[in-house]
């Protein structure tokens, strides 16, 4: 019995409602955070930071956002890429328009812009559900891509149509632009993700999250006990798009450095949706697991064949990648809609009973 829950008797509701009521979980999360903040920047090389960890953080943020909307509030969206684009382009506009504004403030402001756009495109959700809503959010995706491509104001009339993160400092350290080191960008991304993930966890365990889940599970009953469907759904769109917007800003400023609208295309929307499905709908942890999985599989396919002395052509690798994702998505949708997070939970339950079979 390595992992114990039985035998722990909480004597107050405060203890029972704690973020991680089981001590071992608490220590585990603290240990992960300590490693992520203190050890990783010391040991990880440029390749790992730039090709694995930073994209993982960017996608974790986006997956968190989409999971709040789809996993918790039950509103499907294919507009993630579009909302990320809003965050990226608005941060660019704010950072270049107000060079003295702290860059983190620009991130958050553009998150608010994305939230407003999310609410706008969430309005159809008051009328339509499921497949039709997916199509409506797809329209948002295409419209936003088109707009950031076609309106030169958004990319400051640069002839190439690309936006490039300007150098900005935070507490005297360069955090964005070509001079910013991967370690610093990683740490800033990690901080944003840690803080916003905590906020998301707080929201979903309180009244707001219960309202979202109620609307998801049975909207009629939710209204009958007093949740206003309009408010609840639009709040989900706002919060979700805020997270996606910040993810977009992180993507441009902390990961890619410069980008075009292609970086926020429909492919990104699908990728984030896959993360949420594979990781686990309606689970904060699942958002991270899904993001890790989808960012790690390509890395694994690139490196594994070489380790055993084989070489794999790049296009074959891409095909295998798609097959793995496709197979897993079908598997999870049919067999385990709660994704990797649920498998993790089952593993914990097994661990709790170990070494007894029952």
Q: Does 223 bind other proteins (CB under 8 A)?
A: yes
At closest approach, how far in Å is the CB of 349 from other proteins?
A: 13
Tell which one of 217, 306, 318, 322 touches other proteins (CB under 8 A): 217
If the CB atoms of residues 319 and 353 are measured against other proteins, the closer one turns out to be 353
CA distances from 148 to 243, 254, 317, 339 (A): 19, 20, 32, 34
Applying CB under 8 A, among 78, 203, 236, 328 the residue interacting with other proteins is 203
Tokens of residue 37, six digits: 């903040």
3-state secondary structure of 170: strand
- Cβ of residue 77: shortest distance to other proteins, in angstroms? 19
Residues 67-96 that bind other proteins (CB under 8 A): none
Window of 28-36, 54-62, 161-169, 212-220 that interacts with other proteins by CB under 8 A: 212-220
Helices and strands counted in the chain (H then E): 16, 4
Taking CB under 8 A as the rule, does residue 34 contact other proteins? no
For helices 266-279 and 130-150, the axis angle rounded to 10 degrees is 140
Q: How far apart are CA 66 and CA 144, in angstroms?
A: 17
Of 208, 250, 275, 285, the one binding other proteins by CB under 8 A: 208
* Residue linked to tokens 């958004």: 154
Rounded Cα–Cα distance for residues 12 and 5 (Å): 16
Q: Which is nearer to other proteins, 144 or 235 (CB)?
A: 235
Minimum CB distance to other proteins smaller for 263 or for 281? 281
> Distance between CA atoms of 156 and 125, rounded to whole angstroms?
33
Min dist CB 140 to other proteins, Å, is 23
Question: Contact 77/144 with Cβ under 8 angstroms?
Answer: no
Smallest gap from Cβ 355 to other proteins, in A, equals 25
Structural tokens at position 104: 């983190």
Q: Find, among 69, 100, 94, the residue nearest to 242 by Cα.
A: 69
Tokens (6 digits) for 319: 């095909």
Q: What track of x and - describes contact with other proteins for positions 267 through 286 (by CB under 8 A)?
A: ---------------x----
Among 68, 222, 249, 301, binds other proteins (CB under 8 A): 222
Contact predicate 91/249, CB 8 Å: yes
> Is residue 17 close enough to count as binding other proteins by CB under 8 A?
yes
> Minimal distance in Å, beta carbon 144 to other proteins?
25
Mapping DSSP to helix (H, G, I), strand (E, B) and coil, where does residue 355 land?
A: coil
Among 40, 199, 324, 329, binds other proteins (CB under 8 A): 199
Sole window of 52-60, 165-173, 205-213, 328-336 interacting with other proteins (rule: CB under 8 A): 205-213
Q: Which stretch binds other proteins (CB under 8 A): 133-141, 153-161, 197-205, 256-264?
A: 197-205
- Number of neighbours of residue 122 by Cβ within 10 angstroms: 28
- Yes or no: say if 290 and 276 are a contact pair by the CB < 8 Å rule: yes
Q: How far apart are CA 164 and CA 244, in angstroms?
A: 19
Q: Beta-carbon neighbour count of residue 171 at 10 Å?
A: 6
From candidates 85, 180, 235, 278, binder to other proteins by CB under 8 A: 235
Which position among 83, 92, 148, 227 is part of the footprint of other proteins (CB under 8 A)? 227
x/- track of binding to other proteins for residues 110-139 (CB under 8 A): ------------------------------
- Is residue 144 within 8 Å of 240, Cβ to Cβ? no
> Candidates 23-31, 90-98, 128-136, 195-203 — which segment interacts with other proteins by CB under 8 A?
195-203
* Interacting residues with other proteins (CB under 8 A): 13-14, 16-17, 19, 199, 202-203, 205-208, 210-211, 213-214, 216-218, 220-229, 235, 282
């Amino acid at each position: 019995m390595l992992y114990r829950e039985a035998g722990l008797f909480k004597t107050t509701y405060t203890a029972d409602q704690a973020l991680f009521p089981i001590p071992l979980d608490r220590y585990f999360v603290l240990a992960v955070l300590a490693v992520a903040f203190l050890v990783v920047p010391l040991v990880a090389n440029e390749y790992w930071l730039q090709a694995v960890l930073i994209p993982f953080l960017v996608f974790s943020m986006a997956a968190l956002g989409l999971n709040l909307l789809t996993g918790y509030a039950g509103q499907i969206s294919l507009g993630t890429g579009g909302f990320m684009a809003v965050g990226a382009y608005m941060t660019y506009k704010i950072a270049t328009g107000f060079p003295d504004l702290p860059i983190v403030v620009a991130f958050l402001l553009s998150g608010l812009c994305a939230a407003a756009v999310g609410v706008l495109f969430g309005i159809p959700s008051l009328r339509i559900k499921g497949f039709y809503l997916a199509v409506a959010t797809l329209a948002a995706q295409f419209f936003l891509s088109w707009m950031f491509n076609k309106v030169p104001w958004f990319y400051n009339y640069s002839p190439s149509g690309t936006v490039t993160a300007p150098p900005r400092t935070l507490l005297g350290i360069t955090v964005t632009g070509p001079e910013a080191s991967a370690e610093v960008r990683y740490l800033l991304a990690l901080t944003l993700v840690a803080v916003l993930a905590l906020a998301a966890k707080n929201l979903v365990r309180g009244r707001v999250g219960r309202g979202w889940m109620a609307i998801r599970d049975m909207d009629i009953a939710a209204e009958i006990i007093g949740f206003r469907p309009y408010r609840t759904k639009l709040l989900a769109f706002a919060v979700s798009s805020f997270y996606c917007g910040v993810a977009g800003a992180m993507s441009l400023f902390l990961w890619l450095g410069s980008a075009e609208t292609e970086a926020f295309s429909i492919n990104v929307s699908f990728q984030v949706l896959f993360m949420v499905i594979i990781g686990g709908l309606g689970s904060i942890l699942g958002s991270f697991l899904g993001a890790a999985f989808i960012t790690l599989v390509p890395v694994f396919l690139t490196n594994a064949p070489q380790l055993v002395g084989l070489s794999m052509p790049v296009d074959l690798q891409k095909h295998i990648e798609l097959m793995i994702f496709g197979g897993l998505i079908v598997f999870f949708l049919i067999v385990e809609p709660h994704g990797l997070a649920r498998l993790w939970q089952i593993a914990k339950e097994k661990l709790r009973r170990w070494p007894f079979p029952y």
